[in-house]
A and B are shown apart, each in its own frame.
Chain A
């Protein structure tokens, strides 16, 4: 064993350029076997023929992609993007102030960050079920409002776009708060004092100093919310029902009850395409900003 180790180290010392690769190896291997290879399979499936009992049959077709021209599927795709974008914007608007407040709360910082992470201790599934109990006709919200005499009939919340949106924001808000908090936390307070002496009122200090310097956190948070929101299926399934189906539900259905693996694979790649486009457009616009600001 010692011999082997020595030989390995000797080999590494002779090939310094391979040292970085050698530490990357375990993670890279894992991603290759469990992510890249299955992804390759799915890509191939998406062009094959459907087998009605599940699986695929040989052949080549682009009909599974062509189906997205169908208004039915187009509508699902558009709805998914709208929900994911809406969820990102809502999380940003609500999460930024939270992150800002935490970053300025001195000795309470760590406790507050802990509270933001706390929901992760419970399974996402359980938390989404809990929202059903809040929102259903005999749920906490409706019974409270009726008890206070504010409404006489329960408000129908489940199965509405608002319910799906509420569930998505609830689930992904911490992913927005944490990166923004970490970039605000690094902000040197003397920069704000410098801006203040230079005549900047609170609003100017925020938009000219705080916001630009926290942009890395905003970008990271937005991507961390937008991408999983785009692929989510649990929230729309539980809180939205059949009317509010998202593309994640479509993929899930195609692989399970509908037994149309090629179409499910194609839908997955459509989602991936949207993600790549969005990320690319986002980073591109950031670069333009940076140039304009210089």
Chain B
């Protein structure tokens, strides 16, 4: 395997006695679109700042490597990275061109070459250099400023580009557009992108791999589909998409899965859960769109089946979310495409007795959350 571009080995960072980042490790491959995803306060921004060099790991806080070199104590200007900031951080006293040229000036690029590269960088982010180059940043819209910030970073032809929630301030439509554009820049230029976001949909759309962070740790690291299909912990199952949870006691272990018994006596089979012992209490997760509703006696064989009563049908446009109450009062949600069911008299109106069914293959055993 080729050498990773970025490597975190057991990196820790403490602020005033609080662990902001707790012994995290991961590797980022060359050209990858790598996202760090998590709620605010999970340590994702600190992780990015450790990589950029604004923060230094604790004394015994592991090592940060860039292209094989330990960079723990290197200042940001010695790391040759590029970064796009959340609020863009454009220099208000410099024109768009001068903003983009700033890094080239600092690196002593000859003047003639500089003009050409600034022009090319503005072209790359689809801003007309002649029209926008001489303007001050204050005269641009949010989306345009975002593009200038991107041009200012890309003009340096970095091997790694750090992005700290760069699309947070844009409206939805522009954000979608920029997501695709960033992804295509990543493919086209071969630059490794390290992207921090709290928006799970954004991370799923753009990333090659995602590190989901929770409580200063990496909760799960993997490709978007892997994280969505096989969430490791309840946190991941809840933070990426939505999940139904089932709790029960292990009554059988088989190859690749377990069978658990709910408090109400119903059995549920699930995949995963290697090493779980008989009698242990475990939590299972299943996605709402993998849950189906059937009549009480019509459940197909080989499926998990729990008797329920429909509590509420939530109309969400292209989807319908049906909330059903189980015997013990807990709730499960089934999501289905809106195919006009509401026009016909249907089995599942509010109050109807039914069964929620879901495949053991779509049911995952979760690991307990680390303390």
Contact = CB atoms under 8 A, between A and B. Distances in A.
Nearest to B85: A190
A193 B76 contact: yes
Nearest to A212: B93
A220 B102 CA distance: 28
Interface string A181-206: 00000001011011111111100100
B194 to A, nearest CB: 13
Given A213-B92, A294-B95, A294-B134, A199 B85 contact: no
Contacts of A294: 95, 134
B77 A293 contact: no
Contact of A197 (B83, B92, B98, B134): B83
A196 B90 CA distance: 13
Contacts of A208: 102
B83 A293 contact: no
Contact of A198 (B54, B86, B103): B103
Chain B, interface residues (CB within 8 Å), range: 20 to 34
Contact of A194 (B80, B89, B156): B89
Given A190-B87, A208-B102, A294-B134, A197 B93 contact: no
6 contacts: A190-B85, A190-B86, A193-B52, A198-B82, A208-B102, A294-B134
Contacts of A213: 92-93
B89 A191 contact: yes
Contacts of A198: 77, 82, 102-103, 106, 152, 156
Given A190-B85, A204-B106, A208-B102, A197 B76 contact: yes
B89 A188 contact: yes
B94 interface: yes
Contact of B91 (A197, A199, A209): A209
B77 A201 contact: yes
Nearest to A208: B102
Interface of B is mostly: loop
Q: Which 3 A-B pairs have the closest CB atoms?
A: A199-B106, A198-B103, A194-B89
B107 interface: yes
A193 B85 contact: yes
B49 to A, nearest CB: 9
Interface in A4-46: none
Nearest to A201: B77
Given A193-B52, A194-B91, 10 more contacts: A191-B91, A193-B54, A194-B85, A196-B53, A197-B52, A198-B152, A199-B80, A199-B106, A200-B106, A204-B106
B75 interface: yes
B81 interface: yes
B5 to A, nearest CB: 17
A197 B82 contact: yes
B55 to A, nearest CB: 11
A207 B277 CA distance: 65
Interface in B66-84: 75-77, 79-83
Contact of B77 (A191, A197, A209, A212): A197
B118 to A, nearest CB: 13
Contacts of B90: 194
B106 A194 contact: no
Contacts of B91: 191, 194-195, 209
A180 to B, nearest CB: 16
A146 B8 CA distance: 62
B46 to A, nearest CB: 14
A193 B103 contact: no
A212 B94 CA distance: 10
Given A213-B92, A213-B93, A199 B87 contact: no
- Most B CB contacts (10 A, CB to CB) among A190, A197, A200, A209 go to A197
Nearest to A211: B93
B100 to A, nearest CB: 10
A208 B105 CA distance: 11
A204 B104 CA distance: 13
Contact of B103 (A191, A199, A201, A293): A199
A196 B89 CA distance: 12
Interface string A282-294: 0000000000011
Contacts of A193: 52, 54, 76, 83, 85, 89
A214 to B, nearest CB: 10
